[in-house]
Chains A and B, each alone.
Chain A
Amino acid sequence: MKYQLEVSNITKSYGDLKANDGVSLNIKDSSIHALLGENGAGKSTLVKIIYGSLMPDHGEMKWGGSKYSPKSPFEARENGIAMVFQHFSLFESLTVEENIILGLDGVGLNENFTEEISKYSKQYGLDVNPQQVVGDLSVGARQRVEIIRCLLQNPKLLIMDEPTSVLTPQEVSDLFVTLKKLADDGCAILYISHKLEEVREICSEATILRGGQLVQSCVPQEHSQKELAEMMIGKKLTELARSKINIGSDIFSINNLSQKSDDLYGVDLENINLNIKQGSIVGIAGVAGNGQDELMELLIGEKASESGVLNFNDQDIGSLNSHERRQLSMFFVPEERLGHGAVPDMSLDENMLLSRPNSDEMTNRGVIDWNIVSSFTEKVISNFDVQTPSSRMLAKSLSGGNLQKFMVGRELIRSPELLIVSQPTWGVDAGSANNIHQSLISLADKGSAILIISQDLDEILSLCEQIHVLSEGQLSDAVDMKKNGLEKISQLMVGGEN
């Protein structure tokens, strides 16, 4: 068997921390190879070394049989290695086409790629409009741009970092067709994902890392999902289950909400109705860019809505801002972590104050008691297992998963009567996601209501008793899961009949 890429005994340290400790990995020609591991397991470091943005301290690599030690991503790309990053590197003010061209080496901006883009776009079911400005695109559409950009380079090894977290089931299976086709055409794929059922579906091999060390290389089909997950996190997973479902009376309702978007490429919300009862977990499924951002903005209160539309505990809250809504015990976790739910350049302590209701002891007439703030932060850090040296660390220094745990925890310690969460586990590893899901469930068990807006259908299916689908600004009725529910949801997600 021929290996396209052989990585042996790679070690890379940052000070005392060994991010990679003697890691080896062999990727066969034309294969889809999974790289599994929690946040901080060393996946990113390994991938950065392969992609040439980091140099290893020890160890060597072979590419197509000959020695390979890239000094820059440019060199890696020249060799035929392309990568789709989890955090997109797109210029928001430029169009899709301009962004794609900028990502190609040795191509001028005046060249026309519209046709090629549409070709790949059609071939792989990656729906984008080349002339649209990226700033107006949803997270999902941005990722599609990134994928097309890589495919244009005809890579021999395609590295994909959590590629499916924002796609619909239909898009995921389309992507899998693409990936299998690419693999058949001779392109190896290094597939980083925490979605283990996907890995078991399309990957022929898996390498599992934990704490910078190689745990095992295996054939994923030979292990159950749970076994794979436990190898990854090195301990037993908690089964998700509601201990008691205690549905109470209505607590929150949306009545005939319609809202034209201010943004040219935004989505108009049309006649949305929703009812949430105490103790229930309600899910809104749907592909990004179908009105989630617009809806979330209105729910948080970043934008006022007309009177009579939003009701919380029989009170019209349409005109209240987010701070005033928090006084009523509504709390929110937005999708974007950096810059929305948290300020990147501020410490966790300072970020603690973002979603503070007036009723707590952190401030007295606006004067901040930093000791009390820190004690709240410490509580979030310990209760929700946030990995950070101290509460004084800047938010941007935390990994995505840790910051997400902090943000969810920050709202949960308020014991909200209603929690509205968007994408609670986007880009979060399996262990952390399990933690977050577990804490949402125990909140609901205590009688609070939760609204989850997520593109991760598995998440919605495993947590929610009442599921709606948001498509092109319209919200479906609750889907009856007993009658072909999954099929119905898939149809609704791609804009099928309501």
Chain B
Amino acid sequence: MIKLIPRVENSKAMVLLSPLLALTLTAVSALIIFIFILDDIKVSSVFFTLFVLPLTDSYLFPELLVKAAPLMIIGLGLSIGFRAGIWNIGAEGQYVIGGITGGAVGLYFYNVEGFWLLPLMAVAAIVGGMLYASIAAFLRIRYQVNEILVTLMLTYVAVLLLSAMLQGPLRNPAGFNFPESRMFHDSALLPIIWEGTRLHIGFILAIILSFVGWFGIKKHMFGMQIKISGSAPRAAKFAGFDDNKTVWYSLLISGGLAGLAGFFEASGPAGQLTPGLPQFYGFTAIIVAFLARLHPIGILFSSLLIALSYVGGEEVQIEYNLPSSITQIFQGMLLFYFLACDILIRYKVVFNKTKN
């Protein structure tokens, strides 16, 4: 019989080993699935395309970084709220609103040159995301409405708002009635940091933000407030923390960062506002945050890993005609195994030979 026995102390080795174990299990499971759905010969090459090619190919690798940036930024914001026990599930909505508000500023100043435009768009995007998330904060504090429901439902509102905007005020006047905005002019586009690719400055900012987040969480009383409020609300009151402020901080930060990510997507790889702006980054970032155990630096790595699954998944779709759900299967398995393996940090497995 196999038994789980609680450890006296969390295992430090397992903190590091469990993600590796989860990765291995995911890879093995993926292999088994491929063996069932593919001809034997192709398995190794599909595997290669899925997991290795995105890291080695000079076109795919920068694409991986492009996709990691929004995941990193949104995941960071969400992790702060999750630590406090504030469940913002609708980062996708705040991301879309940030795209709209940031993009709208760019379109308003269409063909106006100036270095100030990008920062202005970024601020507009952050404020947009914050305002959108603050609806949930207000409803939770004032009427005890669950923020999970509010943020999730507002996502659909945001997506519809985007398409209303693209068929109305933000539509390209010379765009044959397609529901798309104008292409942003140069001053409204994020500078490319890797010549010949789509990798933009947002990636650098995402990394900087991760370190800022790490500092805030580990080295500042703000992080303590968030953590204490999440794990022991009465102790938070004892410490004198205002629980309403914790709700506001959590939702404003996660909303603002999601908004910023929306702007990066619009002004980066997309270069305009289209109905294709929502890419499920807001939802995938939930996985990113949990894979990193809500650790800001961990999110740096987990967002790269999830981005790998996106890029690799797309590549096997194109090359081997595999279904697009490969990516989701991979992400789902990864999260599943990861959460399962995490139990080894707090419990040890004992093989009990005695019969009962």
A363, B240: Cβ atoms under 8 Å? no
A301: chain B residues within 8 A (beta carbon): 240
Contacts A355-B239, A368-B219, A397-B8 hold; do A350 and B234 have CB atoms under 8 A apart? no
Cβ distance B335 to chain A, nearest Cβ, rounded Å: 22
A370: chain B residues within 8 A (beta carbon): 219
A340 to B236: give the CA distance in the assembly, Å.
8
Main secondary structure of the interface of A (DSSP, over half): mixed
B224, A300: Cβ atoms under 8 Å? no
B231, A336: Cβ atoms under 8 Å? no
A344: chain B residues within 8 A (beta carbon): 231-232
Task: Given A353-B239, A368-B224, output 5 extra A-B contacts at Cβ < 8 Å.
Answer: A302-B234, A321-B240, A321-B242, A323-B240, A393-B9
Taking a contact as CB atoms closer than 8 A, the residue among B8, B238, B356 that contacts A354 in the complex is: B238
Taking a contact as CB atoms closer than 8 A, the residue among B10, B232, B237 that contacts A322 in the complex is: B237
A115 to B246: give the CA distance in the assembly, Å.
47
A397, B224: Cβ atoms under 8 Å? no
B240, A340: Cβ atoms under 8 Å? no
Taking a contact as CB atoms closer than 8 A, the residue among B220, B238, B356 that contacts A300 in the complex is: B238
B231, A343: Cβ atoms under 8 Å? yes
29 A/B residue pairs, CB under 8 Å, sorted by A: A71-B356, A300-B237, A322-B237, A322-B238, A322-B240, A323-B240, A323-B241, A325-B240, A326-B240, A340-B232, A340-B234, A340-B238, A341-B235, A342-B235, A343-B228, A343-B232, A344-B231, A344-B232, A345-B231, A346-B228, A346-B231, A354-B228, A354-B238, A366-B220, A366-B221, A367-B221, A394-B9, A394-B10, A397-B8
Main secondary structure of the interface of B (DSSP, over half): helix
Q: Which residue of A lies closest to B356 (CB)?
A: A71
A332, B238: Cβ atoms under 8 Å? yes
Contact of B171 with A by CB under 8 A: no
Taking a contact as CB atoms closer than 8 A, the residue among A321, A324, A366 that contacts B222 in the complex is: A366
A323: chain B residues within 8 A (beta carbon): 239-241
A354, B239: Cβ atoms under 8 Å? yes
A353, B238: Cβ atoms under 8 Å? no
A397 to B8: give the CA distance in the assembly, Å.
7
Contact of B200 with A by CB under 8 A: no
B221: chain A residues within 8 A (beta carbon): 353, 363, 366-368
Taking a contact as CB atoms closer than 8 A, the residue among B9, B219, B235, B240 that contacts A343 in the complex is: B235
A350, B235: Cβ atoms under 8 Å? no
A341: chain B residues within 8 A (beta carbon): 235, 238
Size bracket of the A interface: 20 to 34
B224: chain A residues within 8 A (beta carbon): 350, 353, 368
A323 to B242: give the CA distance in the assembly, Å.
10
A354, B235: Cβ atoms under 8 Å? yes
Q: Which residue of B lies closest to A351 (CB)?
A: B235
A342 to B356: give the CA distance in the assembly, Å.
40
B205-247 vs A, Cβ < 8 Å mask (1 yes, 0 no): 0000000000000011110100110011011011111100000
Please name the 3 residue pairs, one residue from A and one from B, whose CB atoms are nearest each other, closest first.
A323-B240, A322-B240, A302-B237
A341 to B228: give the CA distance in the assembly, Å.
11
What is the number of contacts between chain A and chain B, taking CB atoms within 8 Å? 73
Cβ distance A338 to chain B, nearest Cβ, rounded Å: 8
A334, B238: Cβ atoms under 8 Å? yes
Cβ distance B337 to chain A, nearest Cβ, rounded Å: 24
Residues of A346-365 whose CB lies within 8 A of B: 346, 350, 353-355, 363
A343: chain B residues within 8 A (beta carbon): 227-228, 231-232, 235
Taking a contact as CB atoms closer than 8 A, the residue among A354, A355, A397 that contacts B9 in the complex is: A397
B9: chain A residues within 8 A (beta carbon): 393-394, 397
B238-273 vs A, Cβ < 8 Å mask (1 yes, 0 no): 111110000000000000000000000000000000
Instruction: Indicate the member of A301, A334, A343 with the most B CB atoms within 10 Å.
Output: A343
B227: chain A residues within 8 A (beta carbon): 343, 346, 350
Instruction: Indicate the member of B220, B235, B242 with the most A CB atoms within 10 Å.
Output: B235
Q: Which residue of B lies closest to A339 (CB)?
A: B232
A342 to B10: give the CA distance in the assembly, Å.
18
A345 to B228: give the CA distance in the assembly, Å.
9
A345 to B294: give the CA distance in the assembly, Å.
15
B234: chain A residues within 8 A (beta carbon): 302, 336, 339-340
A395 to B241: give the CA distance in the assembly, Å.
20
A301 to B231: give the CA distance in the assembly, Å.
20
Cβ distance B1 to chain A, nearest Cβ, rounded Å: 13
Q: Which residue of A lies closest to B223 (CB)?
A: A368
Cβ distance A394 to chain B, nearest Cβ, rounded Å: 8
B40-56 vs A, Cβ < 8 Å mask (1 yes, 0 no): 00000000000000000
A34-57 vs B, Cβ < 8 Å mask (1 yes, 0 no): 000000000000000000000000
B222: chain A residues within 8 A (beta carbon): 366
Q: Which residue of A lies closest to B8 (CB)?
A: A397
A394 to B8: give the CA distance in the assembly, Å.
10
B241: chain A residues within 8 A (beta carbon): 323
A324: chain B residues within 8 A (beta carbon): 240
Cβ distance A347 to chain B, nearest Cβ, rounded Å: 11
A334: chain B residues within 8 A (beta carbon): 238
B219, A340: Cβ atoms under 8 Å? no
A332: chain B residues within 8 A (beta carbon): 238
Cβ distance B281 to chain A, nearest Cβ, rounded Å: 30
Q: Which residue of A lies closest to B221 (CB)?
A: A366
Cβ distance B253 to chain A, nearest Cβ, rounded Å: 15
Residues of B1-47 whose CB lies within 8 A of A: 8-10
A368: chain B residues within 8 A (beta carbon): 219-221, 224
Cβ distance B211 to chain A, nearest Cβ, rounded Å: 15
A367, B240: Cβ atoms under 8 Å? no
B239, A322: Cβ atoms under 8 Å? yes
Cβ distance A451 to chain B, nearest Cβ, rounded Å: 16
Instruction: Indicate the member of B232, B237, B356 with the most A CB atoms within 10 Å.
Output: B232
A325: chain B residues within 8 A (beta carbon): 240
Q: Which residue of B lies closest to A340 (CB)?
A: B234
Cβ distance B306 to chain A, nearest Cβ, rounded Å: 27
A363: chain B residues within 8 A (beta carbon): 221
A351 to B10: give the CA distance in the assembly, Å.
18
Cβ distance B288 to chain A, nearest Cβ, rounded Å: 23
A276-304 vs B, Cβ < 8 Å mask (1 yes, 0 no): 00000000000000000000000011100
